[in-house]
Amino acid sequence: MEMFRGSPIKDPIVDPDQATLYQRAGKDPLRLEWLRVWPFIGLHLSCAVVWWVGWSPVAVMVAGLSYLVRMFAVTGFYHRYFSHRTFQTSRLAQFVFAVWGNSSAQRGPLWWAGHHRHHHQYSDQEEDVHSAARRGFWWSHFLWIVSRGHFPTRLERVRDLAVYPELCFLNRYDYLVPVLLGAAMYGLGAALELAAPKLGTSGPQMLVWGFSISTVVLFHATSTINSLSHCFGSQRYPTGDQSRNNLWLALLTLGEGWHNNHHYCPGATRQGFFWWELDLTYCGLKVLSWLGIIWKLHPVPDRAYRALRS
The domain locations on the chain are 33-242
The Cβ-side half-sphere exposure at 266, using a 13 Å CA radius, reads: 15
Q: Give me the pLDDT at residue 42, please.
A: 92
Handedness of CA 125, 128, 133, 134 (dihedral sign): positive
- DSSP alpha helix (H) spans, 199-255: 203-206, 214-223, 247-252
Q: What does the pLDDT look like over 218-230, one tens digit per residue?
A: 999 999 999 999 9
Q: What does the pLDDT look like over 71-86, one tens digit per residue?
A: 999 999 999 999 999 9
Q: Give me the pLDDT at residue 13, please.
A: 44
- Would you call 37 exposed, middle or buried from its count of C-beta atoms within 10 A (0-12, 13-18, 19+)? middle
Q: CA geometry: angle at 83 spanning 120 and 270, to 5°?
A: 90
- Provide the 10 A C-beta neighbour count for residue 20: 11
Q: Give me the pLDDT at residue 8, please.
A: 65
What is d(CA 161, CA 221) in angstroms, rounded to the nearest whole number?
26
Q: Which segments of the chain have a pLDDT < 70?
A: 1-29, 310
**Reported pTM:** 0.91
